[in-house]
Amino acid sequence: MSPLPHPHKTHQEPSSHHHNPKKPGATLDQTKERVRVARISTWVSVGVNFTLSILQIIIGIIAQSQALIADAVHTLSDLVSDFAVLFASKHANKGPDESHQFGHQRFETLAALGIGILLLLVGVEMIWAAAVSVQSGQSIAPVHYSALIIALATLIGKELLFRYLLKQAEKVRSSMLVANAWHSRSDAASSLIVAIGIIANMAGLTWADPIAALIVGLMVSRMGLKFIWSTLNDLTDRSVDNETYQRIHEKMAGTPGLLGIHDLKTRKMGDMILVEVHLELPASMTIAEGHAISDELCRRAMEDEDILDITTHFDPR
């Protein structure tokens, strides 16, 4: 029995024949499904957003509702984020190449960051326009009831779109699609505020319409900042949440033949996870035996987790 060198590395990749615990082609099938779901759901979102934004702009101008026009701008921003999702879903699921040896998963993170920046810019513009209108002191015309009908229709449409997109996002576990879904939910919430402002305006409180536009702007800006902060954390190698970490740790530590593990580290790669861990093994164990235990540990860890790669270091004891 020859001593085990220290340290020794083995790399576990879903596409590797030797280490892959899944069926051949399983990862490819999952990738195709993610792309298919992203494409279909996003084109549904494009159709809904385009129709609603055109109606909001036309009725907003006719009914003289600043809040409805602000909401239309928000809806138009959804179209930009939809196309960002289509672009990212096409590139994020490409396999590794010479320039991106771990794959292109961070394209999804970049798309989510772009959506956040877009939301922030749109929200700030809304706040500025509404604040100027309120401070100008000019008389504000009463809003026509048709604006209320469109605002309520938009509210219902956006809420239904949110539920559909979130269901599809959870189906393929895509943070990018989740971000786009919550973008639609922010639209639904803003449409509710717009409807309330229009009702108050029709009741004689004419200043309520631009105030509603101001509140919408604040909500959109907050959502944008939330996405920006989250994606920046992912881009700076944020680890997985504590629940996922403990789950991975327990699966690894329970591997037969292993004396223990330490220095378990994780970091996000788009919606996938990169893992590094030190394995405590008997010093008298052969390299082949150590590799067999490492293979089993990686198989157990990757069985139910979205892990892209595991690096194991052998520490003799």
Q: Could you give the C-alpha distances from 276 to 51, 226, 314, in angstroms and in order?
A: 48, 29, 11
| DSSP letters spanning 132-145 | HHHHT----PPPPH
Higher pLDDT, 93 or 314: 314
pTM over 0.75: no
pLDDT at 138: 58
pLDDT given for residue 96 in this prediction: 67
Is the predicted pLDDT of residue 22 greater than 70, yes or no?
no
What percent of the chain has a predicted confidence (pLDDT) above 70? 79
Of 33, 38, 29, nearest to 84 by C-alpha is 38
Q: What is the pLDDT of residue 100?
A: 65
pLDDT tens string 123-143: 888 788 778 777 765 556 678
CATH fold of 240-316: Alpha-Beta Plaits (3.30.70)
Same fold? 26-235, 240-316: no
What crossing angle do the helices spanning 66-92 and 26-63 adopt, rounded to 10°?
Answer: 160
Query: Do residues 23 and 17 lie in contact, with contact meaning Cβ atoms separated by under 8 Å?
Result: no
Res 92: pLDDT: 57
- Domain layout of the chain by residue ranges: 26-235, 240-316
Q: Is the pLDDT of residue 17 over 50?
A: no
Side chain identity at 119, as an amino acid letter?
Answer: L
**Residues 220, 123 contacting (CB under 8 angstroms):** yes
User: What was the pLDDT predicted at 277?
Assistant: 92
pLDDT exceeds cutoff 70 at 7? no
* Identity of the highest mean pLDDT range in 29-38, 111-120, 232-241, 272-281: 272-281
CATH class of 26-235: mainly alpha
What would the pLDDT profile of 147-172 be if each residue is shown by its tens digit?
A: 888 889 988 988 898 899 888 888 77
